[in-house]
Structure 1
Amino acid sequence: MDLQQEIDSKRQEIKSDSYSMSIGEWLSLYENEEIDIHPEFQRFFRWSGEQKSKLIESLLLGIPIPPIFVSQREDGVWDVVDGLQRLSTIYQFAGILRDEDKKACKPLVLESTKYLPALLGKKWDDHSDEKNSLTQTQRLLIKRSKIGVAILQKESDPKAKYELFQRLNTGGSIATDQEVRNCLLIMSNREMYRWMRDLSRNESFQSCLSLSDKNLEEQYDMELLLRFLIFRSMDDSILKSIPNPDISVFLTNKMIDVSEKGNFDYETEKEAFQVTFRILSEQLGGNSFKKYDHQKDKFVGGFIVSMFEVVALGMGYHYEKLNAQVNVLDTVKKIWKDTRFTSSIGGGISTRKRVQSILPLGREMFHV
């Protein structure tokens, strides 16, 4: 297939439309629950009060706003693919924004801006504080302002909205691969996301990781949980066929596939997770995934992802036969003496090659 044929083929997979809509129409969509802005995304997007105030300033001054990208679902509701912060800022300022539990959010109070310093302290419409409220004329000015919408129609390739979301958001307000994945998971299977979020807060799991506040803020514990769920029982044939170059893409695609198939065994995976980390927490705690220094006869340093992969995934693979009698410390000592492990974690070793090498080793080491 030559380039033009590839272009023609892929273009047929994307059905789209675009036009402008007034802020009043955007408000009406939200109030009628005809648009889903995914309120859970708020934990990943980080707009400041200054950024929000600048958006309202732009609307008042007639400065063009970038279009909102949405994907039309089978039920006709629009999923917001890009534009969450713009829309949620408008909804919060108008006093109609709800959080993920459908509770009303505190209305936005504006800050001073470069061109409109008198916006300081202004609200949309507060009858008890009319002096600091916009006038009817100013509110209508905003409601009649327009923002474009680009729509991925429901006839498009189902994976198109995920691809679009990644392209538009990677490197922007979302900082890490896992934060992007969390948003994709919310879009594809909100209940699975909430199940994973709750599981990631497991006390034994957190005590074994001993992650920094920065790692936790960037959702690294969720990424480790995802690795456990995806790789724990993966067939060797699939493990060996992981494509180049970046395992991160593979992890994202597998997550979406699992979330959409509807046959994920929540109970089995939860049990495997709980058994694994209960034993680790009891025996090694915060040393579970650190380097063991044989010369010093103690654990040193911080969290090592390769240790997580060989220990947690090795134990998880055999979770049904594991019990409190398994001596994890002795096995960890053997791992750090095994050249198959130490030669797979040095510099220049790709994540893909490392995973393909040490996952089978972990399964072997913890074989009961």
Structure 2
Amino acid sequence: MTSQGAHAGPDVVEDVFEGLATGIEVEDAGTAGEPVIERPWNPAQIRVTTSTFSLRNILDQIDEEALELAPDFQRGQVWKANQKSLLVESLLLNIPLPAFYFAEDRDGAFHVVDGLQRLSTLYEFVRGRGFPLKGLEYLHDVEGLRFPDLAVQWQRRINNTQLVINVIDPTTPPDVMYDIFKRINTGGTPLNAQEIRHCMSKPRSREILRRMTHSNTFALATNGLTDHIRMNDREMALRFAAFWLLGLDAYMELPVMENFLMHATQLLDDPERCPDARVEAMEKAFTGAMENAREVFGEHAFRKWPMGSEGLSPINRALFETWSITLAAYQLDDLSPRKHEIVNAARRRMARDIEYLNSVTSSTSDRRRVSYRFEAAAEDARAGL
């Protein structure tokens, strides 16, 4: 969850998840950050069917890759051992589980929308590595046992458990589907926007973002942000991809960050609209931007660093998006001789330009503020020319 208690300098609030600082500044996207869809929803656009399947059938679909559990999802596996065991005990006690939501794509594949942690836990226990049951409240006779160790009748009860599945039809518009996802997203800690996009996306875009954030240049530029617990590393890479592929003008036409990033995700997932050569060029530009950012700003890259302040602030996503795109247009041997002038220009702006500070702090999705911070970064990058 987000906390307002972790401060890292003036006008900087660091996001906190489960009591730990995340290294990312809290972002106030403002009302412009909310997706815009037809309201009220047109009922004809919302198609959700309900069916009942046995757990065995669902696990078979996972094995057959007809149902995807959003691989490479960092936060999806953080339940404690006793939480997992209590879920299994619920099945053994014939306690019905809450309904699951799946999204069907146009290729006929299914993605888990709601219930990812529960389904991942059950798959792990029955078909995966397994884990010993511990901390049970009622069935103490099976304490310490794994699935293969259970009596046949217990195994049969688990496999025959009936699950209620709501399936969102692929004809549902993506923006409506995204909003449905946000509404029915349950659990102790709701998924954030990038985690939702990850679950809705296809392997192609996930692999592209994984490569970008697992590069040495990204790790150096962000002081090791790779595999961020809330997937903020993937969101930052996606922001670069969105503005690099679609351009600032495209955002000005539809100034809603969540929609913009969802459209970019769909573009990356479509090899016809975004062929491999285009992706390769984008990743090369991203690598260059990360090298340039580290060379110019050092450990303060993508962080607020006004004149008079030497503390290391958390990474600011608005700064990342604008400076990464700006620096991608330059060669390292051009920037290196001018890096002190560029740094001084950027730090003076952070100390004196209130409009600029606002553009990277509050209502960051507002089109005027997005435009202003891009213009400012472009101007500061020319310092010393």
Q: Which residue of 2 aligns with 1:108?
A: 131
Q: Which residue of 2 aligns with 1:143?
A: 159
Asked if 1 retains the 8 angstrom alpha-carbon contact of 2:349 and 2:356, the reply is no
Give the residue type in structure 2 aligned to 1:165.
F
1:364 aligns with 2:364: no
For 1:81, what is the secondary structure of its paired residue?
Answer: strand
Q: Which residue of 1 aligns with 2:323?
A: 311
Structure of higher CA gyration radius? 1
Give the alignment of 1:191-270 within 5 angstroms.
191-210=204-223, 216-232=228-244, 235-243=247-255, 248-262=257-271, 263-264=273-274, 265-270=278-283
Q: Which residue of 1 aligns with 2:31?
A: none
- Percent identity between matched residues is 24
TM-score by structure 1 length? 0.78
Number of matched pairs: 337
1:205, CA displacement in angstroms?
A: 2.4
1:120 aligns with 2:135: no
> Which structure has the higher relative contact order (CA within 8 Å, separation 6+)?
2
Give the residue type in structure 1 aligned to 2:372.
S
TM-score by structure 2 length? 0.75
Q: Which residue of 1 aligns with 2:22?
A: none
Give the alignment of 1:84-99 within 5 angstroms.
84-94=116-126, 96-97=127-128
1:42-99 Cα distance to aligned partner (Å, 9 max, x none): 64452222121111111111111111212334454432222222222222222x23xx
Q: Using the alignment, how far apart are the partners of 1:326 and 1:230 within structure 2?
A: 30
Give the residue type in structure 1 aligned to 2:101.
F
Q: Using the alignment, how far apart are the partners of 1:110 and 1:270 within structure 2?
A: 44
Asked if 2 retains the 8 angstrom alpha-carbon contact of 1:49 and 1:111, the reply is yes
Q: Using the alignment, how far apart are the partners of 1:209 and 1:148 within structure 2?
A: 43
1:174-216 Cα distance to aligned partner (Å, 9 max, x none): 55333333333xxx23122112112112223222223679x93
Q: Using the alignment, how far apart are the partners of 2:355 and 2:174 within structure 1?
A: 41
Asked if 1 retains the 8 angstrom alpha-carbon contact of 2:246 and 2:264, the reply is no
1:301 aligns with 2:312: yes
Give the alignment of 1:1-368 within 5 angstroms.
10-41=42-73, 43-94=75-126, 96-97=127-128, 106-125=129-148, 133-157=149-173, 160-169=176-185, 172-184=188-200, 188-210=201-223, 216-232=228-244, 235-243=247-255, 248-262=257-271, 263-264=273-274, 265-292=278-305, 294=307, 299-303=310-314, 305=316, 306-316=318-328, 318-319=329-330, 323-338=334-349, 341-346=353-358, 349-353=362-366, 354-367=369-382
Asked if 1 retains the 8 angstrom alpha-carbon contact of 2:300 and 2:312, the reply is no
Q: Using the alignment, how far apart are the partners of 1:254 and 1:228 within structure 2?
A: 13
Question: Structure 1 residues 258 and 176, CA, compared in 2 at 3 Å: closer, same or farther?
Answer: same
Asked if 1 retains the 8 angstrom alpha-carbon contact of 2:47 and 2:172, the reply is yes
Give the residue type in structure 2 aligned to 1:143.
N
1:276, CA displacement in angstroms?
A: 1.9
Give the residue type in structure 2 aligned to 1:110.
L
Give the residue type in structure 1 aligned to 2:145.
K
Q: Using the alignment, how far apart are the partners of 1:253 and 1:68 within structure 2?
A: 23
Q: Which runs of 5 or more structure 2 residues have no equivalent in the other structure?
A: 1-37
Q: Which residue of 1 aligns with 2:35?
A: none
1:267-288 Cα distance to aligned partner (Å, 9 max, x none): 2211211222223323432133
